[in-house]
Chain A
Amino acid sequence: MPVSTSKYRYVDCDPDLCIGCQICEYVCSYTKTGEYNTYRSRIRTVRVDEVLITAIACRTCENAPCVIACPQNALEQDLDTGIIHIDNQKCDACAWCIEACDFGAISINPATKLAEICDQCEDLEEGPQCVLWCPKEALSLTTPDQRAQKSRRELVKEEVVGPKK
């Protein structure tokens, strides 16, 4: 089971805060394609039974399985950031990367026949647009360590002060 390495950041969603509005999906697809289309979003919300809601984007796994699985060596993981980059010349949409990803975070665009994945809007100064737009601040660009720290702090506050209202 792949595990995120401690120095790689990824876009994480807090299911307690996520309301399932999907604004992240509109904004991501617009940023990447100039059109609003949830099919083209690199972050996807999931809703189960009305109340279990969260959003999923690339988790920047260490030794990313998608990279290992690609028969064309079309995927490369940046060793500093963990971000996956796709070589459009080499990708042939075979979808082995989709098979390899446990999170459903990589997808194939049927029009371009290329794989697509969250790149944290690394080319934009403000960083990930979804994080910027999320109305409930449920999304954050975080490392696993930071995420764990946040959970511990919230737990302690809850234990000492009482549950959030």
Chain B
Amino acid sequence: MFGYYGKILHIDLTECKHWVEEKPEDWYKTWIGGVSMASRLCWENIKPGCDPYSPENPVCIANGIFAGTPVPVGGKYGLASKSPLTNFIGDSLSGSWFSVALKRTGWDGIVIHGASDEWVNVFIDDDRVEFRDAAKLLGLDTFETEEAIREELADDQVRSATIGPSGEHMVRYANVTNDGRQAGRTGHGAVWGSKKLKAVSVRGTQGIKVADPDTLNKLSFDITKEAQGPHTSKYRILGTTTNVLNMNKLGLLPTRNYQEGVFEDAEKVSGEFLHEHHKIKTIACAQCPIACEQMSIAKKGPFTGAMTGIEYECLFANGPNLGINDMNAIIRLIEVADRSGMDAITMGLTISWAMETFEKGIFKREDFKSEKHPDGLDVRFGNGEAAVAVAEMIRDREGIGEILSEGTRMASLIIDDQRNTETWKWTMQAKGLETAGYDGRGLKTFALGSAVGVRGPCHNRTAAYDPDIQGEVDRFKVDDRRGELAKDTEEYAAVYDTLPLCKFIRRCFTGKADRAGAWPTIAQLVNATTGWNFQYEDIDLIGERAHTIKKAFNIREGWKRADDDLPYRWKHDPMTKGPSAGYVVTDEELEYMKDLYYQAKGWTQDGMIPKQKLHELGMPDVAEAIGV
């Protein structure tokens, strides 16, 4: 077999042992890699119904098919566990050198079972597994942890996926970080924390062989050159922060906990402003010829010197969403999230919920007492210093950080119970996962995609903002095309998330990013790597399969149609300013669109999957377990 080794490494933290599971080539042809393979491994190895913090919740890592080859942007891997935020599948992607090093070890994937008694750094050294004492690593942030392990093992080629203090404290939305990139959402860091798993390190020395290196090199070379042109110029120069002003102009920039969609100081927190005043350098992940990561530094005020990579999502969540117009504070907030290892989006939306709760008089200054701030904090929208203090309290689970570290859904449940309030009405989440930087009230297809999202309202997984924002449909209305469209965009995205390939490359194959423009080249890349004979339809199937295994996982964990829902605000509170003012997604509209979507997917009205469909997709065991 080329492209795969046929072997999954199983590690048991409770008993400190490991074993090898061999998988046949057909298994790889079905699950490929990334989120699909990781979710499939989770399906195979989890005890259904278990608590996400229990030893029965496995940590599943699945490498990318192109990792370690010159295929541009192919250096990525998938990570899946049951999410402690949603109790459904938590599937994430990360990238860069960890996946390259993993490819050289000879393992296609890793499943980590059980829980350790003592803090541990699992070290996978080619085919050797070591359980290293991680006591000295405790308290170190994500970057420091990686460096410390590299120094300890005296090898620059050792790459580590780590948790920071947030994960150690089991902040429910803590993340896993490697090489400055994150498997960001759904709370993986908390799962690792529950296992006392501080880091997973890999070192691989084997060479990577492919079936047809000449073809692979030629294709990769051409795509690499294409990636320097206009199809990626936005990513390279401003990165994804370009979207701040775009969204503001359409009235969709989440402002002050999504109360509005226009931010009066959008210019000051725009990608353009960042580029002009704060950017140091644009850098790349391993294997990426585009380079979109905008490394930026805070230059004035109390947070001078804070430095990290800035993306649109963390920017909106900790900028306009908090009413903060000072880029220095925003950079520091994102740095706190990145260094301590927590989801910057969820962190921002939890703080914005807290701010609104404060402005409504439910939270008071004293609620925010801490060692550093014995008089509490004035947690009003726009107060950057207070926001940073709250972020640190979350990281440390200090004072009210104890509650805020649970995410908006659980925090509001606790507060509403204690204080007889209705703060849940302004939590910006669905299924327990916080929303992203696009407002569903002005993007109705996206609203559908958010509601039915298997890991929650994730913009990356649904990608259904495309038809709304490209003007293919009327973004303020619903019609009978929406189900089909949401199905199309999510399955399209799933192909990239499974190989994985970073979606930013999608225009560099033929100039057109649609299936006809991308699938043929992707098939060629897959075939040159593996020696298979994948055609257009096989690439298409990748997406549908990936999405279906995740959906099946959710069904087995108890998903019901009513769980596909939207934040209260999107259904009841219209914006009052800007071009998207006045709209909500009504219950009627949502249920209508859900009907269309389930139909388009070939599911029942309740959103269950017919046995036959699962057989057609090549997953008979799933059909047995949850098919109807």
Contact = CB atoms under 8 A, between A and B. Distances in A.
Interface in A30-55: 30, 33-40, 46, 50-51, 53
Contacts of B283: 19-20, 50-51, 53
Nearest to B67: A36
Given A21-B284, A21-B287, A34-B213, A26 B70 contact: yes
A51 to B, nearest CB: 5
Given A35-B208, A37-B207, A40-B207, A30 B213 contact: yes
Interface stretch (B220-228, B260-268, B469-477, B617-625): B220-228
A127 interface: no
A27 B221 CA distance: 10
B280 interface: yes
Contact of A26 (B68, B290, B295): B68
A42 B200 CA distance: 28
Nearest to A21: B284
A20 B97 CA distance: 11
A29 B290 CA distance: 22
Interface residues of B, number: 38
B284 A36 contact: no
Contacts of B225: 135
Interface string B541-554: 00000000000000
B227 A35 contact: no
Contact of B289 (A30, A51, A135): A135
B295 A33 contact: no
A74 to B, nearest CB: 24
B180 A21 contact: no
Interface in B532-591: none
Given A23-B287, A50-B180, A36 B206 contact: no
Given A23-B224, A133-B70, A135-B289, A34 B284 contact: no
A22 interface: yes
Contacts of B288: 19, 21
Given A23-B289, A36-B207, A40-B207, A51 B281 contact: yes
Give chain B's interface secondary structure class.
loop
> How large, as a class, is the contact surface on chain A?
20 to 34
Interface centre among A21, A50, A135 (most CB of B within 10 A): A21
Contacts of B295: 50-51
A10 to B, nearest CB: 22
A135 B228 contact: yes
B157 A38 contact: yes
A147 interface: no
A157 interface: no
Interface centre among A22, A36, A38, A53 (most CB of B within 10 A): A36
Nearest to B309: A50
Contacts of A38: 100, 157
Nearest to A40: B207
Interface string A98-111: 00000000000010
B45 to A, nearest CB: 30
B209 A34 contact: yes
Nearest to B101: A38
A90 interface: no
A37 B206 contact: yes
A136 interface: yes
Contacts of A133: 70, 221, 224
Contact of A27 (B70, B205, B280): B70
Interface centre among A34, A38, A51 (most CB of B within 10 A): A38
Interface in A50-106: 50-51, 53
B525 interface: no
B72 to A, nearest CB: 8
Nearest to B227: A135
Contacts of A40: 207
A40 B295 CA distance: 30
A133 B69 CA distance: 13
Interface string B286-326: 11111100010000000000010100000000000000000
Contacts of A26: 68-70, 287
Nearest to B228: A135
Contacts of B68: 26, 36-37
A21 B210 CA distance: 20
Contacts of B281: 51
A20 B100 CA distance: 14
B510 to A, nearest CB: 19
B123 to A, nearest CB: 17
Contacts of B185: none
Given A26-B68, A27-B70, A135-B228, A37 B213 contact: no
B104 interface: yes
B178 to A, nearest CB: 13
A30 B70 contact: yes
B217 interface: yes
14 contacts: A19-B282, A19-B283, A22-B286, A26-B70, A34-B213, A35-B207, A35-B209, A36-B70, A37-B68, A37-B208, A53-B283, A135-B224, A135-B289, A135-B291
Which 8 A/B pairs are nearest by Cβ-Cβ distance? A35-B207, A135-B289, A37-B207, A19-B284, A19-B291, A36-B208, A21-B284, A51-B281
Given A20-B286, A26-B68, A51-B295, 18 more contacts: A19-B288, A22-B286, A23-B289, A26-B70, A27-B70, A29-B207, A30-B213, A30-B217, A33-B207, A35-B209, A36-B70, A37-B68, A40-B207, A53-B283, A133-B221, A135-B225, A136-B228, A136-B291
